[in-house]
Amino acid sequence: MPSIADLEKLLAMDPADPFVLYGLAQEHAKAGDTARAVAFYDRCIAADPAYCYAYFHKAKALELAGDIAGARQSLDKGMQEARRCGDGHAAGEMQGYLEELEG
């Protein structure tokens, strides 16, 4: 995976590129910067609501930050979007994760 600096250069060329936004979110999450990660997941989702795994990983970041309600909300929205665009695999993974949070 490219570094945060490399991804920021790519983002400067196309500020709405969901792949770059998702990559930045993932890198910030790995670095432990949950707030920035969530902000980039939100930007990714705004740029492409069908980027289903952004909802999943946003929920992971929120759970890590102790925001279980926010994680559940992200998963609910993600499942709705996954079903809307016919991504049963993503919907199933989010459903399983939601059940883990509720159990």
Q: What is the 3-state secondary structure (H, E, C) of 9-49?
A: HHHHHCCCCHHHHHHHHHHHHHCCCHHHHHHHHHHHHHHCC
Domain boundaries, given as residue ranges, for the chain = 4-102
Give the model's pLDDT for residue 50.
96
pLDDT at 5 over 70: yes
- pLDDT (tens digit per residue) in 21-47: 999 999 999 999 999 999 999 999 999
Half-sphere exposure of 91 (CA within 13 A, CB side): 11
pLDDT on residue 88 = 95
4-102 topology per CATH = 1.25.40
Structure confidence at residue 103 (pLDDT) = 79
> What average pLDDT does range 55-71 have in this prediction?
97
What is the predicted pLDDT for the residue at 19? Answer: 96
